[in-house]
Amino acid sequence: MTAAEIVRELNRFVIGQEEAKRKVAIALRNRERRERLEPALREEVTPKNILMIGPTGVGKTEIARRLARLVGAPFTKVEVTRFTEVGYVGRDVESIIRDLVEVAVRLVREEMRRQIEPDATLQAEERLVDLMVGEPPEPGNPFASIFGFGQQNRQEQQPKQERMSESERQEKRRTLREKLRRGELEDELVEVEVEDQGGGLPFLGEGQNQMQEMLQQMMPKRTRKRRMSVREARPIVRVQEADRLIDQDKVAQEAVRRTEQSGIVFLDEIDKVASHGAQGPDVSREGVQRDLLPIVEGTTVSTKYGPVRTEHILFVAAGAFHIASPQDLIPELQGRFPIRVELRSLGVDELRRILVEPEHALVHQYQALVETDGVQLDVSDDAVLAIAEFAHRINEETEDIGARRLHTLLERCLEDVLYRAPEKGFTQLTVDRAYVEKQLGGVASNPELSRYIL
231 and 136 assigned to the same domain: yes
The pLDDT-based confidence of 207 (bands split at 50, 70, 90) is very low
How many structural domains compose the chain? Answer: 3
pLDDT tens digits for 342-395? 898 899 999 999 999 998 899 999 999 988 888 888 999 999 999 999 999 998
CATH number at residue 291: 3.40.50.300
- Domain boundary among the residues 200, 221, 245 is at 245
Asked if residue 135 is part of any domain, the answer here is yes
Which tens digit of pLDDT belongs to each residue from 69-112?
A: 888 889 999 988 888 655 454 568 889 999 999 999 999 999 99
Is 266 in the same domain as 237? no
pLDDT at 7: 92
d(CA 315, CA 303): 19
Of 213, 245, 277, the one marking the end of a domain is 245
Q: What local confidence, expressed as pLDDT, does residue 218 receive? A: 56
State the chain's maximal CA–CA distance in angstroms: 86
**Residue 5 exposure: Cα atoms within 13 Å on the Cβ side:** 6
216-251 burial, b if ≥16 CB within 10 A, otherwise e?
A: eeeeeeeeeeeeeebeebbebbbebbbbeebeeeeb
- Who has greater pLDDT, 442 or 297? 297
> Are 304 and 213 contacting, i.e. CB atoms less than 8 angstroms apart?
yes
Per-residue pLDDT, 198: 54
259, pLDDT greater than 70:
yes
pLDDT digits (tens, 9 = 90+) for 137-176: 444 444 443 444 443 444 444 444 445 677 877 888 888 8
* 111 falls within a domain: no
Reply yes or no on whether the pLDDT at 266 is more than 70: yes
- Note down the domain range covering 198: 117-245
Same domain flag for 276 and 391? no
